[in-house]
Amino acid sequence: MTAEQQSPEGLDVGPVTDWIVGLGIGAQPPLTFERVGLGQSNLTFAVSDTAGHRWVLRRPPLGELLASAHDVAREHRILSGLQGTGVPIPDIHGLCEDPTVTDVPLMLMSWVDGAVLDSREDAEALPMAARAAVGPSVVDALARIHAVDLEATGLADLASHKPYAARQLRRWSGQWEKSKTRELPELDRLTARLHEIEPEPGEITLVHGDCHVRNVIIDPEDATVRAVLDWELCTLGDPLADIGTLLGYWPQPGDPPTMRFDASTVEGFVTREDLLREYAEATGRDVSAVPFWHALGVWKLAVIIEGVRRRQLDDERNLSASGHFPPEVVDGLVAYAHGVLDGQH
């Protein structure tokens, strides 16, 4: 193996190359593997061959993982079920769980060309018309996800059909207890407030669970969503949860600097109010309970980032290009979620 072909952390290039070549997708070895993206959960690698073909490889984070988290095989099942439904996703080429190749599941997908808005600079590179279209395009993708026929896609048993808000509060409270790096009374108070205003159970649809501008690939000219990525939190539940999550990842000018997701603060992007109106018009759903889901989405993000911090403290190999999250990020998200419930955002 040459220096250029040294295995990156988490992959054994030789066996993985043999597996990919054996899929019959025209891969010409030797293959190169490069860690890409700012994601802090499942690791993503760009795979290239000598003929100029590209693919995307996914694997769980390095080190010890919490139960039920980062299930690449489950993500493969979801994406396989969604092929041909009209939901914009990559093509799926294979799942590997062979212990002679890998100690964790690996999933290979097609490479989708386009723009990912990882930074303010990425957003500023879009023409003004595309900036205005990003929000409506993401909302359209969510509407497609929420319209998926669960029986036809084989996803009706993906998760429980019990009340979703209660499931989310229970699950992520448990994740917090397992991954927290310190005590945070304001988060405990936020959790209690969410329990107090938990909405009545609504309809059950497919829910992406983590939809925002860093998790979609868009056409750089008209902002059409070409692919929705990172399905590891996908489940069955209330579709308004996805809108709440999107709003939580959609800061606008004048908001406190609670997170590193500032693409939507660039001139020309629509407001959170616009997103909510677009979704209501596209789906006909009653969106009056969205403030709860908005606050829940921010609360969940705080728990997720605390888990990222725990994994980074335990194993620095899990650092992405965006580096460490300081504890103040989590504190700011908790304060912001309280503000959502107080009607300030």
d(CA 42, CA 64) in angstroms, rounded, equals 13
For residues 146 and 239, the answer to whether their CB atoms sit within 8 Å is yes
* Residue 1 confidence (pLDDT): 39
The domains of the chain, with CATH numbers, are: 3-110 (3.30.200.20), 120-341 (3.90.1200.10)
Evaluate if residue 172 carries a pLDDT over 50.
Answer: yes
* Residue that wins the pLDDT comparison between 98 and 307: 98
Residue with tokens 């335990």: 314
Distance CA 8, CA 14 (A): 11
**Residue 256: per-residue pLDDT:** 82
Provide the pLDDT confidence category of residue 67 given band limits of 50, 70 and 90: very low
Whether the full predicted model's pTM is greater than 0.85, yes or no, is yes
Instruction: Give the tokens for residue 192.
Output: 């209690």
The tens digit of pLDDT for each residue in 24-61 reads 999 999 999 999 876 557 889 999 999 999 999 999 88
pLDDT band at 2 (very low <50, low <70, confident <90, very high): very low
Q: What are phi and psi of 7, to 5 degrees?
A: -70, 130
Neighbouring C-beta atoms of residue 273, cutoff 10 Å? 10
Nearest to 294 by CA among 238, 243, 330, 335: 243
Q: Which two tokens stand for residue 59?
A: 């694997």
- Give whole-number Cα distances, 114 to 109, 117, 166, 220, 224, in Å: 15, 10, 37, 6, 10
Q: What is the pLDDT of residue 104?
A: 92
CB 98 within 8 A of CB 19: yes
Q: Which residues pair with 227 in a beta bridge?
A: 217
- The CA distances from residue 116 to 244, 286, 302, in Å, are 21, 30, 23
With CA atoms as reference, report the closest residue to 71 among 164, 157, 158: 158
